[in-house]
Amino acid sequence: MSSNQEPVFPEYETDTSQTSKLIRKFKETPFVPIGMAGFAAVVGYGLYRLKHRGEMKMSLHLIHMRVAAQGFVVGALTCGVLYSMFREHVLKPKE
């Protein structure tokens, strides 16, 4: 293969820094990074509360934190899908 071929997706090949790629992805799908940040926040809170869980069993505490983290991610992705459907079908320009 020759190296002088045109890139298939030139707008994706021009960004080389990780920061610019992250900013572009955040603009394209804003709810995915929000879901990831919420997941990290729930995990951080769960680790913090792990010391102060009182008489609660470790397995029960971990199950609650897993359900909370998954719920946040699924909620963020659902909002993202609804937002994209709204943007494509309701705000779609008249053709």
With respect to residue 48, please indicate whether it lies within any of the assigned structural domains.
Answer: no
pTM: 0.60
With respect to residue 78, please indicate whether it lies within any of the assigned structural domains.
Answer: yes
Number of structural domains in the chain: 1
Which residues of the chain register pLDDT less than 50?
15
Helix axes 58-85, 31-50, angle to 10 degrees: 170
With respect to residue 37, please indicate whether it lies within any of the assigned structural domains.
Answer: no
With respect to residue 5, please indicate whether it lies within any of the assigned structural domains.
Answer: no
With respect to residue 65, please indicate whether it lies within any of the assigned structural domains.
Answer: yes
Instruction: Read off the amino acid at residue 55.
Output: E
With respect to residue 42, please indicate whether it lies within any of the assigned structural domains.
Answer: no
With respect to residue 89, please indicate whether it lies within any of the assigned structural domains.
Answer: yes
Domain coverage including residue 73: 58-94
**pLDDT > 70: what percent of the chain?**
81
With respect to residue 44, please indicate whether it lies within any of the assigned structural domains.
Answer: no
Taking the alpha carbons of 75, 78, 82, 87 in that order, is the dihedral positive or negative? Answer: positive
